[in-house]
Chains A and B, each alone.
Chain A
């Protein structure tokens, strides 16, 4: 494998893993305080899925690129080395924001994984994408169901979801920020361009939003939300990593 392809794949797997890892932790913050019991369970389950998926991505890096083990990659990297998008870093705010973020994010992940299961350049990632898709379909199903039902419900629900969409949509566009490895990945036929993936994602979310009174914001400004893929993060990332690693830092050598 050419060195530039290798670096591009490593960067890609970090992006996938870090997004899942941080969003998984955000979802876990709903444990015990979900608006209804069913949603408490749903967000806790999705948290478990996302963190498990992050571990699987980190395992791939460990096995195939001789990087440290998943726990070290997850809990001992400085925040500047994370490659997650700003979207996953923001605090939960309210249930509407969490739900809309999960809707926008899981559709994006779904599309990326569908492309990755078709490539033959890096077989272990192909197999992992296939496996994760079978689980992720339940996330997309969950998000679609609630977005459609709630936004067609009370006026308060519609307003809250619209406010959340206005806020989260520009951030979600930056899930597809162009990056230095993109050309390598496109040429090697690992993934289509970020621009193409973004268009496909837009079609997918519009199909759901058509069944709702919700409107995508016009002229979304997403320049300010770029940077996550090159290590330029919001202050929220440092804070959440601080929190996630608190116990481990007490005694990194502890046996669990």
Chain B
């Protein structure tokens, strides 16, 4: 058993609200400690504080690690370190775009919601319709070029 195998297994666990990305791609896995097959501990960073999917993801991680043959499994939440959408890789951003969700812009700070690129036509001639959407992590926009209503993964 090596770390890569564990990471690959965790790569099959998706965020139920962003099914295009795995927890690994979201940058939610902070550390893995293990001694196969006796023990494994996965440390994860919570995304949005009130995200209801966290508990479900925790159970899914547990299930995945059990299938790898681990006996004692701990999934701990690290509340000290800050998760941010800047942890998403370029590859993860491209996956989001193909899924139809505008990826979160990087390093936005003061005007976080004023930039959004339409995932369908690539135009930035877009307007914000609502800083809140169907889940806490999404905002709703309208593309003035291709008339598509789309959602953006909110930068935090």
Contact = CB atoms under 8 A, between A and B. Distances in A.
Interface of A: 38, 41-42, 44-46, 48-53, 55-56, 123-124, 127-128, 130-132, 134-135, 137-138, 141-142, 145
Contacts of B154: 138
A127 B49 contact: no
A65 B6 CA distance: 36
Interface of B: 48-52, 79-80, 82, 84, 112-113, 129-134, 136, 139-140, 154, 156
Nearest to A132: B49
Given A49-B136, A130-B82, A131-B82, A138 B49 contact: no
B130 A41 contact: yes
A-B complex: 5 closest residue pairs judged by Cβ atoms: A52-B50, A45-B132, A134-B156, A42-B132, A38-B130
Contacts of A46: 132
Q: Of A44, A134, A145, which is in contact with the most chain B CB atoms at under 10 Å from its CB?
A: A134
Main SS of the interface on chain A? helix
21 contacts: A38-B129, A41-B132, A41-B133, A41-B134, A44-B132, A45-B136, A46-B132, A49-B50, A51-B50, A52-B49, A53-B50, A55-B50, A123-B80, A127-B80, A127-B82, A130-B82, A134-B156, A135-B49, A137-B112, A138-B131, A145-B131
Given A127-B80, A130-B82, A138 B132 contact: yes
B112 to A, nearest CB: 7
A64 B63 CA distance: 30
Nearest to B129: A38
Nearest to B109: A137
A131 B129 contact: no
Contacts of A38: 129-130, 132, 140
A127 B129 contact: no
Nearest to B77: A59
A56 B49 CA distance: 7
A124 B133 contact: no
Given A48-B50, A127-B79, 20 more contacts: A38-B130, A38-B140, A41-B132, A42-B132, A46-B132, A49-B49, A49-B136, A52-B48, A52-B49, A55-B50, A123-B80, A127-B82, A128-B79, A134-B156, A135-B49, A135-B156, A138-B113, A138-B154, A141-B131, A145-B131
A135 B154 CA distance: 10
A135 B137 CA distance: 9
Contacts of B130: 38, 41-42
A132 B46 CA distance: 12
Contacts of A124: 79-80
A55 B51 CA distance: 12
Contact of A48 (B82, B136, B139, B156): B136
